[in-house]
Amino acid sequence: MRIANIYGLTANLLLFLHFLYVSFVVAGQASVLLGWALRWHWVRNLVFRLTHLAAICAVAVLDLMNKPCPLTIWEYQLREKAGQTAKWEMTFVERLMRSVVFCDCPAWFFEVIYIGLAVLVILTFVLFPPRWKKRPH
């Protein structure tokens, strides 16, 4: 196997990891909101909620600092080493939106999404807090 193929494969694996990260943030928040309405106990799990909060806050802080996502940078570096085209001007979420739903939105649109989702996660963390201890049965 050529080294370029290994770089390309690694970039694809990293892309999949990035997709899982975004899926965790979005599906996690949807689960919390649905769980709040349906009184699901598992969505109040402290480890899940703290991990979810940290995941979206990391994205929002990077965006506020005008820093690209490290996963995107790493993927693009691997793609260049593999001799593939890297679209440095686009974030992962922009590429995902364009390829999945054909959304050609400006960068500020994604900034609003990142910050808005972080605010929503923080609000639900406060208004529907995780359980610190298991409730006795």
**pLDDT per residue over 86-109, tens digit each?**
776 556 666 665 566 446 678 888
Asked whether residue 133 is assigned to any structural domain, the reply reads no
* Cα–Cα distance for residue pair 62/58, rounded to 1 Å: 6
Least confident of 40-49, 79-88, 95-104: 95-104
- Assigned domain for 71 exists: yes
By the 8 A CB rule, do 67 and 55 touch? no
How many whole angstroms separate alpha carbon 74 and alpha carbon 71?
5
In a domain, 57, yes or no: yes
User: Domain range spanning residue 69?
Assistant: 3-127
> Beta partners for 45?
131
Q: Is 7 part of any domain? A: yes
pTM above 0.85, yes or no: no
- Mean pLDDT computed over 38-61: 97
Q: Is residue 37 part of a domain?
A: yes
Asked if residue 136 is part of any domain, the answer here is no
Give the number of residues written for the chain.
137
Q: Report the domain count for the chain.
A: 1
Residue 89 lies in a domain: yes
